[in-house]
Structure 1
């Protein structure tokens, strides 16, 4: 960012250059304009040109003051009977600046006052051009005002667009983080809840078996916290995401299977096709679909078993989770997880379906496309 500033001229320097350029044009071109019109120059001609051009050096710092000074100098120049010439370029720049950098109402009032002052030379002055001179004089105010207003509106629209895009990206990032936290916390708490129920059931009669359940709770909570910490590094940028745990993916399915087996849900994993490295987003989405589907089985299916099928193909990967439980998930709030799965998959161009399995139980299937390597 600092480098970009170094390549951009400061506004005061740009304004000073504009003033110097128009001053040079005025000093050189005013005499030629007078000769072409058959009008001589007077003692006030060049001082007025100098005043009008010099005022532009502060045009963006004090746009109304600049327009007032330039309008006064230009009006005096025309009332004294000097011909249209380069001094009108200074007026053009001053009107444009007011329109481009001030609110529309303020700019319109200022430009209207400037136009009224400028038109006094049409009826008052050494050589008044009459009403036929009103239109060309008005054009030096109306045209730059219209251009400046257009530029200002375009700049404001671009700024609003940048703000809207930043807000959209922030909302999308918050939604992504919320979805990740839901998947991690929901799965971890579901497993811990069932393991705690087992421990409480066994504690009085078989305390030695309750110890195994408590050990599983400790392991599950630690793994869930590590995964949650990795997820939240998107918010906390002060430490690398891979410092304590890898980004979840299909490679972690064995650990997920073991964790759920400890919670009382036997899971079978079947893999077909040739496994290959998947893009991080696809790998994470596939894992989250399996995790959320198995968490729903754990919560809602009752005593059941589950099967996870992974099918690798050159154009994508398909994951399917079926269970032998009670059938459709009907518990309150279960739809949020399914909706999150669909959003995650469709965002990557895939498809996701969920519903009763043909042989009973529930079935979740998702296909995630992967571009073929060239």
Structure 2
């Protein structure tokens, strides 16, 4: 922060009349980071003013060699604390002002006392606001001025007739006081920066969770709509082609379109309900491998024959893995409908103690036609598998056709691995 405030005048920098070694500031137009938008600290300033005025009266009784408090002394005490009202908006100006008023107070021979608290508060505010050099400069000016007054100028300053040279040991006490002010101010600055960092980290974590949730919703909607719209697209084309020659078959196609659209609307509504009310439980259970027969029937309505084979001992699959497995098979069959010339596909579900393997094959060849897809199907499948620490392999088979193989880990005991959102991959 200090480096940002130490820009010297030049092109693009502050004008020369607003520059100083402690950093640029403009008393009549404070920067936002200097507290320009904060409320004035009336209560603390009034409390400090009362404490300094009353405390100075008590301090006066033990310092008979100093000048008694008079209206001028009261005015200086008031000025030293009243200027603290602007310590958040103009910390540099206030730090030097309190130090200067305190020097005048000491030089006038008035008793030592709580007036130094005003300097401590103003320097603390300057350090916390990031003007470390301004705070050091203010306490350094106060200390140097005190040295001059106490050891050289005391002969010409009140009280009159003062010829006693003050001990240099007293300056050690002042030095300790100065170091204490700086140390406490630095501690406050570090603590404030730590709070700001923690707030930024919490905000970043919340943003990351929101991004992950949006990505999950987008992936879910893509998988639901892509499959259903593909079925509707195929059936609509079939219905148009058979509308005149085979009205009964066209009626069947329209019935299939109605069923597919109703199912898609139901699943989209379920996803959107979860999005609107994240704390509520979904009204319907998430789809899983137990709904593979429905996928087979939907594929059959598009003219695609699907053979499902199950190997191994079927075990309880965690809900997240079950949903991912269903969506992967659904997307793979959707791609067969869209992009393959084959009207036959095979689905293998292989259960192992530590993993669930899915394999979807078609005999091809690829049609090369634009089926209106978004091109994110394979990316979505990879994201689902990666979120569960699984893998996806997709590509042409050596004997023709296309194969999609997914391996999803199954943790012991039926618990699910902690899902993480994988970065999107461009296809």
TM-score, structure 1 as length reference? 0.74
Shift of 1:148: 3.5
Equivalenced residues, count:
355
Match of 1:323 in 2: 362
Of the structure 1 ranges 272-281 and 61-70, higher mean CA displacement relative to structure 2 is found in 61-70
- Residue 266 (structure 1) aligned to one of 270, 289, 305: 305
Shift of 1:336: 2.0
- Confirm or deny: 8 A CA contact 1:92 1:140 kept in the other structure: no
Match of 2:402 in 1: 362
- Confirm or deny: 8 A CA contact 1:327 1:357 kept in the other structure: no
SS in 1 for 2:249: helix
Within-5 A mapping of 1:203-242: 203-237=243-277, 240=280, 242=282
SS in 1 for 2:276: coil
Between Structure 1 and Structure 2, the one with more helix by share is 1
- Residue 127 (structure 2) aligned to one of 99, 102, 110: 99
**Structure 2 residue 178 is matched with structure 1 residue 178:** no
Shift of 1:215: 0.1
Q: CA-atom RMSD, angstroms?
A: 4.6
Cα 1:128/1:161, change in 2 over 3 Å: farther
5+ residue gaps, structure 1, are 1-11
TM-score, structure 2 as length reference? 0.66
Shift of 1:113: 4.2
- Confirm or deny: 8 A CA contact 1:320 1:364 kept in the other structure: yes
Shift of 1:230: 1.4
5+ residue gaps, structure 2, are 1-40, 155-164, 415-427
Match of 2:349 in 1: 310
**Structure 2 residue 298 is matched with structure 1 residue 252:** no
Shift of 1:147: 3.2
**Structure 2 residue 319 is matched with structure 1 residue 280:** yes
Per-residue CA deviation, residues 342-364 of structure 1 (Å, 9 max, x unaligned), is 12211211111111234431111
Match of 1:7 in 2: none
Cα 1:128/1:310, change in 2 over 3 Å: farther
Match of 1:8 in 2: none
Within-5 A mapping of 1:23-34: none
Q: Structure 2 CA distance, aligned partners of 1:205 and 1:61? A: 84
Shift of 1:226: 0.8
- Confirm or deny: 8 A CA contact 2:273 2:282 kept in the other structure: no
Shift of 1:331: 6.1
- Residue 120 (structure 1) aligned to one of 138, 145, 161: 145
Cα 1:207/1:55, change in 2 over 3 Å: same
Q: Structure 1 CA distance, aligned partners of 2:319 and 2:81? A: 60
- Confirm or deny: 8 A CA contact 2:84 2:122 kept in the other structure: no
Per-residue CA deviation, residues 21-74 of structure 1 (Å, 9 max, x unaligned), is x98xx89x979xx89xxx9777559989x9899889979878859867864675
Cα 1:274/1:42, change in 2 over 3 Å: farther
Match of 2:392 in 1: 352
